[in-house]
Amino acid sequence: MSSSPIKVVVVGGSYAGVNVINGLLSSSKKTLQITLVERNEARHHSVGAFRALVDAEYGDKIWVPYTSLFPKGSSHKIIRDTLAEVHDHHVVLSSGVSVQFDYLVLCTGSRNPAPAKFGHVASTADAVAITNKARAELSKSKSVLIVGGGACGVELAGEIKTAFPDKKVTLIQATSGLVDYPGFSQAFGTSAQKHLQNLGVDVVLNERPTIEGLNLDNPVQASPVTLRTKDGKTIESDLQFLSVGIVVDTSYISTLKPVGVANFDSKSLVDADRHVLKIKDTMQLADPNFPHIFAVGDCTNFSEVPTAAACKFTGATAAKNLLQLINLSSTNSPSVLEVQAAEKKAKLGKGSMPGGMMVLATGPTTGVSSLPLFGTRFGSFFARMLKSKDLMIGGVFSDMRIAK
Does residue 20 belong to any structural domain of this protein?
yes
Cis bond before residue 354 (omega within 30° of 0): no
**pLDDT per residue over 67-110, tens digit each?**
999 999 999 999 999 999 999 999 999 999 999 999 999 999 99
Note whether 182 and 99 are same-domain residues: no
Note whether 128 and 230 are same-domain residues: yes
Rounded to whole angstroms, the Cα distance separating 316 from 322 reads 10
User: What average pLDDT does this structure show over 53-76?
Assistant: 96
Average pLDDT in the chain: 93
Note whether 154 and 208 are same-domain residues: yes
Note whether 229 and 317 are same-domain residues: no
**Does residue 262 carry a pLDDT above 50?**
yes
Does residue 59 belong to any structural domain of this protein?
no
Domain stop point among 302, 323, 345: 345
Does residue 116 belong to any structural domain of this protein?
no
Confidence of residue 132 (pLDDT cuts 50, 70, 90): very high
**pLDDT per residue over 231-249, tens digit each?**
999 999 999 999 998 899 9
Does residue 236 belong to any structural domain of this protein?
yes
Confidence of residue 1 (pLDDT cuts 50, 70, 90): very low
Does residue 68 belong to any structural domain of this protein?
no
Note whether 240 and 128 are same-domain residues: yes
pLDDT confidence of residue 357? 87
| Residue 229: HSE in the Cβ half-sphere, 13 Å Cα cutoff | 16
Rounded to whole angstroms, the Cα distance separating 119 from 113 reads 9
* Distances from the Cα of 367 to the Cα of 65, 253, 309, 350, 383, angstroms: 29, 39, 17, 31, 5
Question: 404 by DSSP, 3-state: which?
Answer: coil
Confidence of residue 385 (pLDDT cuts 50, 70, 90): confident
Confidence of residue 304 (pLDDT cuts 50, 70, 90): confident
Residue 169: its H or E element: strand 168-172
CATH number of 104's domain: 3.50.50.60
Note whether 141 and 198 are same-domain residues: yes
The single-letter code of the amino acid at 114 is: A
Note whether 235 and 261 are same-domain residues: no
Q: Which of these, 395, 295, 358, 277, lies nearest to 17 by C-alpha position?
A: 295
Radius of gyration for the chain, computed over Cα atoms and rounded to the nearest angstrom: 22
Does residue 115 belong to any structural domain of this protein?
no
Angle between helices 15-27 and 308-328 (to 10 degrees): 40
Give CB contacts under 8 A, 24+ apart, made by 91-99. Answer: 91/9, 91/11, 91/37, 91/252, 92/255, 93/37, 99/9, 99/35, 99/37
Entry pTM: 0.95
Note whether 323 and 310 are same-domain residues: yes
Does residue 317 belong to any structural domain of this protein?
yes
Note whether 369 and 256 are same-domain residues: no
Note whether 90 and 156 are same-domain residues: no
pLDDT confidence of residue 176? 96
Note whether 218 and 147 are same-domain residues: yes
Per DSSP, 167 falls in state: S
CB 94 within 8 A of CB 16: no
Note whether 28 and 93 are same-domain residues: yes
Rounded to whole angstroms, the Cα distance separating 394 from 142 reads 33
pLDDT confidence of residue 403? 80
Provide the residue range defining the domain that includes 136: 124-246+355-399
pLDDT confidence of residue 243? 97
- Tell me what percent of the residues of the chain surpass a pLDDT of 70: 98
Vertex 179: Cα angle to 208 and 190 (nearest 5):
100
Give 133's contacts (C-beta < 8 A, 6+ positions apart): 220
Does residue 261 belong to any structural domain of this protein?
yes
**pLDDT per residue over 307-319, tens digit each?**
998 998 899 999 9
**pLDDT per residue over 208-222, tens digit each?**
999 999 999 999 999
Number of domains in the chain: 2
Question: 367 by DSSP, 3-state: which?
Answer: strand
User: What average pLDDT does this structure show over 63-70?
Assistant: 96
**Does residue 377 carry a pLDDT above 80?**
no
